[in-house]
């Protein structure tokens, strides 16, 4: 009788060990697949970004200052993706990408510039924005990638060695019609919310109230005046497993 009980215990233990082993193996396989997909997606995105830079960035001679100046060939850019609306560059980060705009704010969360499925997504403007100088707040999003691609290096803005460098606070945004310079006036980290990505304002007072609120959030006082007549640019990415947002605001100068 005792031998039967011992055999039964051993059998149950063996079954339990087998179940645990299968579960661990499944977790390992799932993790491996996720890591492989992440690596493949970010590698593909980096290749796409490099290829785009090689084909659409034109170096032109600035006769006045006798130096090379970059220019974006939007005709070639739009041949690759008609959703392209801008090109953004943030000094001392890895951010130098074409900006796309879809019909919603979901598509480019998991699609690359060539519209293929990609967990790294792409840099995209809010679908409600217009790039005709009429919007008071242009909002651009990107994933916080661990390899610092997309908006993964936007977190640099929270470091004093970044924001104390005057040159870094000039954000460059090319559109089809102009090269725009935006001056940073607020940087911060905040829990997920919709207020800072507000794009429509009932009147000038409403806009000024918005500006005052986001200026007070800044971890540094930039002493940059923003009036009711200004247009601003907002960059946003997630942080800490999507619990927070890293945010930059700049005014067009």
Ramachandran angles phi, psi of 159, nearest 5°: -95, 140
176-200 mean pLDDT: 95
Q: What is the pLDDT of residue 36?
A: 46
Of the listed ranges 57-66, 97-106, 130-139, the one predicted with least confidence: 57-66
Structure-block tokens of residue 146: 């661990």
% of the chain beyond a pLDDT of 70: 79
> Residue 160 has what pLDDT?
96
- Please indicate, yes or no, whether the overall pTM of this predicted structure exceeds 0.85: no
Mean pLDDT of the chain: 87
Check: CB of residue 137 under 8 Å from CB of residue 234: yes
Q: How far apart are CA 45 and CA 200, in angstroms?
A: 32
At residue 173, φ and ψ (nearest 5 deg) are -130, 110
Quick: pLDDT tens for 114-128.
Answer: 999 999 999 999 999
| pLDDT single digits (tens) 212-238 | 999 999 999 999 999 999 999 999 999
Better-predicted residue by pLDDT, 141 or 61 = 141
Q: What is the mean pLDDT of residues 85-102?
A: 96
Q: 61 Cβ partners below 8 Å, 6+ apart?
A: 67, 68, 69
Question: Which whole number is the average pLDDT over 67-82?
Answer: 84
Extract the tokens encoding 105.
Answer: 């704010």
């Amino acid at each position: 009788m005792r031998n039967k009980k011992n055999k039964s215990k051993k059998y149950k233990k063996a079954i339990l060990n087998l179940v645990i082993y299968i579960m661990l193996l499944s977790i390992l396989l799932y993790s491996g697949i996720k890591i492989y997909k992440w690596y493949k997606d970010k590698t593909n995105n980096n290749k796409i970004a490099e290829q785009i830079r090689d084909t659409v960035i034109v170096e032109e001679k600035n006769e006045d200052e006798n130096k090379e100046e970059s220019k974006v060939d939007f005709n070639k850019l739009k041949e690759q993706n008609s959703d392209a609306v801008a090109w953004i560059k943030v000094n001392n980060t890895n951010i130098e990408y074409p900006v796309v705009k879809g019909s919603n704010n979901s598509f480019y969360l998991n699609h690359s510039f060539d519209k293929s499925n990609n967990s790294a997504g792409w840099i995209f403007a809010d679908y409600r924005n217009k790039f005709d100088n009429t919007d008071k707040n242009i909002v651009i999003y990107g994933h916080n990638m661990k390899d610092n691609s997309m908006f993964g290096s936007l977190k640099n803005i929270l470091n004093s060695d970044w924001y104390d460098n005057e040159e870094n606070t000039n954000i460059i945004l090319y559109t089809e019609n102009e090269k725009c310079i935006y001056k940073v006036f607020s940087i911060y980290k905040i829990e997920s919310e919709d207020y800072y990505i507000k794009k429509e304002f009932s009147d000038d007072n409403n806009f000024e109230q918005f500006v005052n609120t986001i200026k007070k959030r800044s971890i540094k006082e930039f002493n940059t005046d923003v009036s009711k007549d200004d247009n601003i640019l907002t960059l946003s990415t997630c942080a800490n497993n999507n619990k927070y947002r890293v945010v930059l605001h700049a005014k067009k100068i």
